[in-house]
Amino acid sequence: MLDILSSRPDVWGEIRLVASARSAGKVLQVRGEDVEVKALSPGVFDGVDVAMFDVPDEVSADWAPVAAARGAVAVDNSGAFRMDPDVPLVVPEVNPEAVRERPKGIIANPNCTTLTMMAALGALHRRWRLTQLVVASYQAASGAGRPGIDRLRAELGVVAADETLGSSAGDVRRAVAAALDDGAEDRFPFGAPLAMNVVPFAGSLKDDGWTSEELKVRNESRKILGIPDLKVSATCVRVPVVTTHSLAVHATFASTLTADEARAELAAQPTVVVLDEPEKGVYPTPADVVGEDPTYVGRIRQALDFPDTLDLFVSGDNLRKGAALNTAEIAELVAAELTGG
Ligand code: 11C
């Protein structure tokens, strides 16, 4: 967030940094200046126009209303308010007008898995009307925060040191558990080893075998796109990538569209990059997209047996567009509104 605020057009006056009491007094750099972190308290929001929250759900649930009551517009990156009917859920490329309908003074930023495909799907929906969405995600370890990154790196270190691993059932599981968890095989933060593996589980377990991530993809896509009855089915999978989520998308539209038409429409979007020359090995991969702001799309195909359906592959940096960048973009829309733009 600090990096993004420092590199985007500077529309801000004072930037106040706020954190828990444990971090108060630390000095961090933003816009090239040293700024001392203040401890979270109601008074820190006095005089603030826009408060960007990047904290756990329960902290946002308590404090975003406090910021709003003190006169700030809260832009919240947690899951606390996303499905509240009085809180808009905004992706500036898709529903920028929604920022102005905020009766609670709170605007929500979507989940990074949903966000990764929204700029592309929003553009296709505007032209061909989306009716069904089936996706599989390929989610990076940083979706689970810094501990997730540290864990993946530690596991990669373990498996890199033994070239016999990956040849018999359970050998990676046993080696990682022995090296990192005192041999316990029930402590994997990702549910199973992530190095040399993929894990078909992200988030927490909800009813009927669905995960919280899969339900967020369904509910948030419907709300952002404004299609309450959109048929959605998602399988969320964690992959051994540090940062950048990807999705394989199978999207059905109200009318027939060709891959060329979709490619041209996507290429015309300012925040979408089409990388789609498979004959030359050109398609998005997370390792090539990390650190970038746009959504990258490739492998665009008209589904062979479904002429109204596209298959495509999308990659986007989950920490930038998937989180801090979209939050900053929403905040900039509010700043423009407040300054008469
Ligand atoms: C993950 N998408 O990759 C999650 C992280 O609802 O904001 C973000 C969770 C959220 O683990």
Residue identifier of the C-alpha nearest atom 7 of ligand 1: 111
Q: What was the pLDDT predicted at 249?
A: 98
State in Å: Cα 111 to ligand 1 middle: 6
Residue 137, pLDDT above cutoff 90? yes
Q: What was the pLDDT predicted at 159?
A: 98
Q: What was the pLDDT predicted at 230?
A: 98
What does the mean pLDDT of the chain come to? 97
Q: For the segment 178-197, what is each residue's pLDDT rounded down to a tens digit?
A: 999 999 999 999 999 999 99
Q: Which atom of ligand 1 is nearest to the CA of 112?
A: 2
Residue 341, pLDDT above cutoff 90? no
Helix axes 171-180, 145-160, angle to 10 degrees: 110
Residue 208, pLDDT above cutoff 80? yes
Question: Quick one: what percent of the chain has pLDDT higher than 90?
Answer: 99
Q: Which atom of ligand 1 is nearest to the CA of 113?
A: 2
Best of 54, 111, 190 to mutate for ligand 1, by most ligand atoms within 8 A of CB? 111
Residue 73, pLDDT above cutoff 90? yes
State in Å: Cα 146 to ligand 1 middle: 12
Q: What is the mean pLDDT of residues 194-208?
A: 98
Q: What was the pLDDT predicted at 61?
A: 98
Residue 255's pLDDT band (cuts 50, 70, 90): very high
State in Å: Cα 244 to ligand 1 middle: 12
Q: What is the mean pLDDT of residues 255-262?
A: 96
Among residues 125, 236, 245, 250, the one annotated as catalytic is 245
Q: For the segment 213-234, what is each residue's pLDDT rounded down to a tens digit?
A: 999 999 999 999 999 999 999 9
State in Å: Cα 112 to ligand 1 middle: 6
Q: For the segment 84-123, what is each residue's pLDDT rounded down to a tens digit?
A: 999 999 999 999 999 999 999 999 999 999 999 999 999 9
State in Å: Cα 143 to ligand 1 middle: 5
Residue 325's pLDDT band (cuts 50, 70, 90): very high
Other Cβ atoms closer than 10 A to 161: 10
Residue 38, pLDDT above cutoff 90? yes
Residue 16's pLDDT band (cuts 50, 70, 90): very high
Best of 77, 213, 243 to mutate for ligand 1, by most ligand atoms within 8 A of CB? 213
Residue identifier of the C-alpha nearest atom 5 of ligand 1: 143
State in Å: Cα 119 to ligand 1 middle: 18
Q: What was the pLDDT predicted at 286?
A: 98
Residue 323's pLDDT band (cuts 50, 70, 90): very high
CB-based pocket (< 6 A), ligand 1: 79, 111-113, 139, 143-144, 202, 213, 216
Q: What was the pLDDT predicted at 167?
A: 97
Residue identifier of the C-alpha nearest atom 11 of ligand 1: 143
236 is catalytic: no
Residue identifier of the C-alpha nearest atom 10 of ligand 1: 111
Residue 151's pLDDT band (cuts 50, 70, 90): very high
Q: What was the pLDDT predicted at 305?
A: 94
Q: What was the pLDDT predicted at 204?
A: 97
Q: What was the pLDDT predicted at 120?
A: 98
Q: What is the mean pLDDT of residues 34-59?
A: 98
112 is catalytic: yes
Interface predicted TM-score (ipTM) of this complex, two decimals: 0.97
